[in-house]
Amino acid sequence: MDFLSRRRIALTAVVACAALVAAACSSSSTTSAPSGSSGSPSVPQISASSFGLSFAAMTALKPLASKGKGKIAAILPDTVSSTRYVEFDAPYLTKSFQKAGLTSSQYIIQNAQGSDATQFSDAQADITNGASVLLVDPLDSGVGSRIETYAKSHGVAVIDYDRLTLGGTRKYYVSFNNVRVGTLLGNGLVACIKAWNVAKPQVIVMKGATTDNNATLFAQGYLAVLNPLFTNKTYTDVANPAGTWDPPTALTEFQAAYTAHPSANAVLMPNDENGAPIIHYLQTKGIKAMTFPVTGQDATLTGLQNVIAGYQCGTVYKPIYLEAEAAAALGIYLWAGETPPKALVNGFATDVNTHIDVPSILETPIWVVPSTVQSTVIKDGFVPASQLCAGSYAADCSKYGISG
């Protein structure tokens, strides 16, 4: 949605390629990481590449636990665009704080359940209850800006988490390289069309919600791949529905496009959750495996099952533990009144509404296909093999050596 989806152009925001992602630079502009760090021997020095499934980097921050003032509050957006926020972000943030030595009274983790009003009221309540740092994954830039304006007026630092608030006043941003996510989707579709021998590709290009800046960045990435192929007539761009992170709405949009263009034989889909009902719909129309390419993102259980069964080309996996640890670490430095190390804040994202380069931590997404499921999502424990391989999918798992 991710994961685990929702949850979620005149260049709306350009994500800079940092040292961590130099090997996968997209067309976005590049700016060096911000300088400056306390440099004090008493202040732990970690980098953006320090994080992993062991959460060992977080234990290095224990010296800061006694310096913090107030609380750190994380406000997640919803449970619809992606199940990731419940299954991964919340527990990973919790583990990060705990490994760093924070007690349960020193941090708050909430979910706005898809409501702008709830997300804003949660922020107000958190600040009233002593939060000195907010990690906010805004449902949209409107509510994000309201939260950040309110927080600034109360002397509270805000970190944008996963989505950048356009026009906001946050201090930092933590996410994946979201243009790169889109590039992976575009390249994944191209590779799939070739591998599945799709003749004369007629592509329906789906989008995420228009209010989500990440959706804009995803589109920037995949359109940079697809538009040249549309221009030279290698592919045909047959439809461009409005965009949503709501699966039933995505299905309705797709059905309308497919009815109007029955020759369509591929779809760029930026989300597993939106893709699932569309794949089911195509199956009811008699579409066979490995004949109608569909892409996805968030490495959800359903998405991965569609991948190994041959109904989805692949999915963009975002190791959320990297993002959660990075955000928690950044929040802890601010909470303790310390300047984050320059090796931690490894890039910038440009808020083109304000023309401000926001100091950022940008992690690297991964394109997952059947042959790499075992070495990525299964290895990381992101999806249990026992669930992925249940029932009719057992044969697919055996085919691709998936177990665990």
Q: Is the model's pLDDT at 15 over the cut of 50?
A: no
Pair 57, 191 in one domain: no
228 occurs within a structural domain: yes
Pair 332, 372 in one domain: no
Pair 189, 227 in one domain: yes
Cα–Cα separations (whole angstroms), residue 243 to 205, 220, 254: 9, 14, 10
Pair 390, 252 in one domain: yes
Pair 285, 148 in one domain: no
CB 228 within 8 A of CB 222: no
| Pairing state between β 71-76 and 131-136 | parallel
Q: Which of 223, 221, 249, 217 is nearest to 352 (CA)?
A: 217
The number of distinct structural domains making up the chain is 2
3 occurs within a structural domain: no
51 occurs within a structural domain: yes
Pair 213, 331 in one domain: no
Angle, CA of 49, 52 and 57, to the nearest 5°: 75
Q: Is 65 exposed, middle or buried (0-12, 13-18, 19+ CB in 10 A)?
A: middle
State residue 380 phi and psi, 5-degree precision.
-80, -5
pLDDT at position 24 is 33
Q: Is the model's pLDDT at 384 over the cut of 80?
A: yes
pLDDT at position 212 is 86
What six digits make up the tokens of 213? Answer: 């800046």
CA–CA separation, 303 and 311 (whole Å): 9
151 occurs within a structural domain: yes
7 occurs within a structural domain: no
pLDDT band for position 213 (50/70/90)? confident
Pair 63, 160 in one domain: yes
Strands across the sheet containing 202-205: 236-239, 202-205, 266-268
The enclosing domain of 257 has a CATH number of 3.40.50.2300
225 occurs within a structural domain: yes
For residue 204, the surrounding DSSP H or E stretch is: strand 202-205
pLDDT band for position 7 (50/70/90)? very low
Pair 32, 115 in one domain: yes
pLDDT at position 337 is 96
Q: Which domain holds residue 299?
A: 179-317+367-399
Pair 160, 18 in one domain: yes
Angle, CA of 206, 174 and 267, to the nearest 5°: 10
pLDDT at position 163 is 92
251 occurs within a structural domain: yes
**Average pLDDT, integer, range 375-395:** 97
State residue 56 phi and psi, 5-degree precision.
-65, -35
CA–CA separation, 369 and 400 (whole Å): 10
**Average pLDDT, integer, range 252-263:** 98
How many CB atoms sit inside 10 A of residue 87's CB? Answer: 18
Pair 290, 326 in one domain: no
5 occurs within a structural domain: no
Considering only 31-35, 192-196, 275-279, 343-347, which range has the smallest mean pLDDT? 31-35
Pair 205, 59 in one domain: no
pLDDT tens by residue, 176-207: 999 999 999 999 999 999 999 999 999 999 99
**Average pLDDT, integer, range 223-232:** 98
pLDDT at position 83 is 77
Pair 272, 388 in one domain: yes
